[in-house]
Structure 1
């Protein structure tokens, strides 16, 4: 095992370093965009944890997670406290539980790391990227998942962006973690006068960083020359009145008034639950929309759906998106947000505090393999809010889509970094799939994102306005869409199988 650096002999200093290393990863994401801190964070984690006994790696992983989620995901406090009508003390407690719970994922990954590598320093170094990726994947899957703050997402504006259509966000994360491990190995070898070996490690680690910018110029999908005009409305409706029946008419009048000059646009987009009543009660509103739409125009809006569901065999609610006019289709959200759109252990938790009784928190997830929306002959695959954070889910459902579309209401998270992180995640999905994405939100950021993950038009947060622009259809698939994350996960498993410490019985 590698000896501990004298700086890290003090356990409090070591603990603080791990927390800081986790927090540095938050700075790689929007709005900070310091992508280069990703490998630096991994290097700091290894400097502290590589020499630790296996039994202490669980706490090392947990402290790293506390730093990451305590700095990058505490925006949940705003929805719990300000919009969940929950006392401050309880809101703080729930936020602490949320962060501490998420930190268990890197804690378990680090514990598994110690079990696999034992005390071998080189095995720990080689296995670390694989362990980190599997921890990320588990966090994005277990109990509906929290696929947020993946290190690779930072490279929408970083040098590894060109690899995203090939290996996806998990592949980028794997190489960022490997680069941090290579930094550690290079320094370790130089200190031992093994300069040739250090040079080889450094060169190998640099290859993807140098090759990715060239890959970014590759056109993996074919982009049509014929544009589709877009008008997306950002109503900036205060969250406090969003579900208040007294303000229903005001909200609808706002969106109709914003749309008046744009009824002949090819695609008009209203955000998530822009119509805050179910479709079976919104007949007059829908009729007004269809009467005003141009012959070649489609309006897509978020609107709750209520009715009998063959899926459940009962009447149910869905968080849905519907196309009207020269288009058709309805999509029911599949990936629901715990406590925001459904309440786990509902019979026990309902009524305890305001946060467990948020408006519209009794949705049912939609069925799998739903079709796309049709807009003037184009196939538009929609995703609602949180769904855009699931990389493999989005890639799998977008194979036959010409365009991607996502709607959201990030008003739940105020002026925190959460909505800006959400925007960057959407940009990574457009980059992975080589498709234009239209993003409509209540209070920002409404944007048009091109097939390279770059915004061509946007409305700033907390402004009422209409975004106009053009999008272009795409055909074909990126390599990532064909394979999803399985090659990266398989590589991680192969490393574990062949590099782990084997214990041979004496008999």
Structure 2
């Protein structure tokens, strides 16, 4: 047996010899089907097959070809899955359709290039042999997702693990997090790809396949484990107000008082709740200009022994800074400033160049400053709350760290920016994963839906309809203790993936 046979194995001819245009088109198609595995479609087998096809098409690729194919996959992934960006730019940034399309295309291309980088760098490990597909491909995919949680402040969207929120692999979420679930999914897809590609199954492939089946069975078994202790003797009655204020009028000065009146009107009948939650930036005034109204809310909440939490823009007058914040009144104590900001929506990158160029770069909320790390959460009575505002809930490690010494997750959002696109439904699915990763109830209060209560298993127990002014009530219970993911985050899987690539590199050097 030659060293080449040991490294590559016996393969079926044809796939790695496809014309570049055909290979690129097929890879683009593999990327297009990935968002169909996520909300609102949840067709996870399609995503599974797309990953297997992507792994096959990368086989024996040169660095240049791997970069081309991975970029095509990324364009398909983000072109479909992040298409909602166009809605925000066109409808609420008031950009013409062609300019919105151009900016969206540039955004998708940038994300695709970031997606492609790990595969291009590690192509010689992925593209040669069974172990390259079985180990190199899932390791690269995980490291790529991890990079996208922090590179250029991060865009941790469309992670493949979200598609397995309802499959047995979800049992691994409290242990490994969404990145780890994605790793297991790509490993299983790599096994499928290897069975489709290699002429003679090797011992390695048989072992990998058995391991993959065991991981799925193990996930099913782990679904029955409760990593945290939920205190059923401490029910908390929660009510959420969903005012459904149209984004185009939300910050109009003439709309401020009607909005305040609507919030109070919709809250009537819910002051008997333990907690009353208003969504992100529900109060359309800055904190200090709304003091008279906030004093009224505080008196009402104190009289009824209710904890009120509302989203509001906090104006720090000494430093002339503005923060996207959550503030507590009545029985609720504390204020929280958002730490992870939305580019262009809350701040403008390269501000000196872009500010004022088009209306999209001058949105009313694009002057927000970042809150400091390590803030204390919110407190209502004996229950500590881990808050996150809108975009923050898509950062797995950020939410896990915030939940370590707190009992309930709270996220508020205003998804009106994305109208009736798939973006808000993806956003809700990511919030569900945060509840599962931390073993805590999650409260999601939004301006226009979907508002929801999610249990520690990531399942929705109550939700509202979209695009209606309504209220949502339910009960949550504080949780104590933590999950393995809360303690270790994604680092074990990042280190494992790096070690796998290092081992493949060492093996290649040995046989060459």
Indicate whether 1:207 and 2:210 are aligned: no
Instruction: Report SS of the residue matched to 2:374.
Output: coil
Segments of 5+ residues of structure 1 without an aligned counterpart are: none
| Residues matched between the structures, number | 499
Correspondences of 1:215-230 after superposition (within 5 Å): 215-225=222-232, 226-230=234-238
Relative to 1, partners in 2 of residues 1:55 and 1:4: Cα closer, same or farther, differing over 3 Å? farther
Distance 1:495 1:6, change over 3 A: closer
Deviations 1:270-321 (A, max 9, x none): 0000001111000121122122224421110000000146xxxx22000000
282-291 or 216-225: which moved more? 282-291
Per the alignment, residue 59 of structure 2 pairs with 50
TM-score normalised by L of structure 2 = 0.94
| CA shift in 2, pair 1:427/1:8, >3 Å | farther
**SS of 2:499's equivalent?**
helix
Equivalent-residue separation in structure 1 for 2:291 and 2:204 (angstroms):
72
Report deviation, 1:42. Answer: 1.2
Q: Distance in 1 between matches of 2:223 and 2:365?
A: 42
Match of 1:419 among 413, 417, 424: 424
User: 1:77 maps to which residue?
Assistant: 86
Conserved 8 A contact 1:113-1:124 = no
Measure the CA separation in 2 of the matches of 1:53 and 1:4. 17
Q: Distance in 1 between matches of 2:294 and 2:467?
A: 27
Match of 2:4 in 1: none
Q: Residues 32-67 of structure 1, C-alpha deviation per residue, up to 9 Å, x if partnerless?
A: 111222321111102212132232100111000001
Query: Is this contact kept in 2: 1:380–1:401, CA < 8 A?
Result: yes
Structure 1: distance between partners of 2:177 and 2:130: 29
Quickly say closer, same or farther: Cα 1:21–1:503, change in 2 above 3 A. Answer: closer
Please, which of 370, 373, 376 is the counterpart of residue 381 of structure 2? 376
SS at match of 2:167: coil
Match of 1:60 in 2: 69
Residues 187 and 198 in structure 1, CA contact (< 8 A), matched pair in contact too = no
Q: Does 1:130 align with 2:139?
A: yes
Which of 20, 23, 44 pairs up with 2:29?
A: 20
1:435 touches 1:474 (CA, 8 Å); kept in 2? yes
Q: Which residue of 1 aligns with 2:19?
A: 10
State the SS of the aligned residue for 2:189.
helix
CA-to-partner distance for each residue in 1:234-272, whole Å, 9 max, x for gaps?
Answer: 111111111111111111111110001111210000000
Give the direction of change, closer, same or farther, for the CA distance of 1:47–1:255 in structure 2 (3 Å limit). same
Any conservation in 1 of the 2:176–2:485 contact (CA below 8 Å)? yes
Worse-matched range after superposition: 423-432 or 44-53: 44-53
Q: Please state how far the C-alpha of 1:501 moved relative to its aligned partner.
A: 5.4
Residues 150/235 of structure 1: CA separation in 2 closer, same or farther (3 Å cut) = same
Residue 399 to residue 197, structure 1, CA distance change in 2 (3 Å): closer
Q: Measure how far apart 1:137 and its partner are.
A: 0.9
Higher mean Cα deviation, 317-326 or 202-211? 202-211
Q: Deviations over 1:104-136 (max 9, x none)?
A: 122111111225457455334421111111111
Structure 2 segments unaligned to the other structure (5+ residues): 1-7
- Which 10-residue stretch deviates more, 119-128 or 252-261? 119-128
- 1:276 corresponding residue in structure 2: 284
Change (3 A) 1:71 1:8: farther
Counterpart secondary structure, 2:456: coil
Matched with 1:258 is 266
The secondary structure found in structure 1 opposite 2:269 is: helix
In 1, the alpha carbon distance for the partners of 2:454 and 2:127 equals: 46
Tell me the secondary structure at the aligned position of residue 463 of structure 2: strand
Q: What SS does structure 2 have at the residue aligned with 1:252?
A: helix
User: How far off is 1:11 after superposition?
Assistant: 2.7
Distance 2:208 2:179 in 1: 22
Matched, 1:321 2:326: yes
Residues in 2 aligned to 1:396 and 1:277: alpha-carbon distance in whole angstroms:
31
Native 8 Å contact 1:168 1:391 kept in 2: yes
Distance 1:8 1:29 in 2: 32
Asked if 2 retains the 8 angstrom alpha-carbon contact of 1:54 and 1:118, the reply is no
Matched residue, 1:435: 440
TM-score by length of 1: 0.95
